[in-house]
Amino acid sequence: MAASTSTSSADVIEANPGVPYRLTADDFERMIETGIIPDDRRVGLWEGRLYESMAKKMPHAISSSKLVMALVRLVPDGWFLWAENPITIAVDKVPLPDLAIVRGKPDDYKDRRPESGDVALVIEVADKSLRKDTGPLLESYARAGIPVYWVVNLAARLIQVYQG
């Protein structure tokens, strides 16, 4: 009788210790441009690691849609609503906020993604993500100089406003 062995990913990591390779925002952009990251995937970059956004449940989707409908009428000239699109906030962070108010026009970003200095407001709708949205995301947006950050707290039915 032959014995079978299986190798888990933990075994491979232990056998090949090393430092994880961290991606930069530029690496991330090249991966998108060359098709390594498929167009139909909602992928962001956080602390040099790729992540895929989770599917939205209906309360989240409905709240996001209501925000778009309300804000699109209020955004002043020279600014526009940037919905579910990436912004660069650090050399290793390209999150996909639910909404952002960005300077200029969408065509201004044909050759680059908006950076923190282009962003007036970031909005995250939080159902299961409240801890992340009010912890690491809040800290990172503040460090990046995002002037205003809203967390739409669905469980508490309120908007938490943070200003830098």
**pLDDT tens-digit series, residues 121-145:** 999 999 888 999 999 999 999 999 9
pLDDT the model gives residue 120: 97
Q: What is the mean pLDDT of residues 133-160?
A: 96
Between 50 and 134, name the one with better pLDDT: 134
Dihedrals phi, psi of 69, to nearest 5 degrees: -60, -40
Q: Rounded to whole angstroms, how far apart are CA atoms 120 and 102?
A: 6
Residues in Cβ contact with 150 at an 8 Å cutoff, skipping those fewer than 6 apart: 121, 122, 123, 124, 159, 160, 161, 162
| DSSP per residue, 37-93 | S-TTS-EEEETTEEEEPPPPPHHHHHHHHHHHHHHHTTPPTTEEEEES---B-BTTB
**3 state SS of 100:** strand
Q: Rounded to whole angstroms, how far apart are CA atoms 125 and 60?
A: 6
Q: Rounded to whole angstroms, how far apart are CA atoms 25 and 87?
A: 10
For residue 34, CA distances in Å to 44, 96, 135 come to 16, 20, 33
**pLDDT tens-digit series, residues 60-75:** 899 999 999 999 999 9
pLDDT the model gives residue 4: 47
Asked if 114 and 84 touch (Cβ cutoff 8 Å), the reply is no
- For residue 134, how many other CB atoms are within 10 A of its CB? 17
pLDDT the model gives residue 1: 47
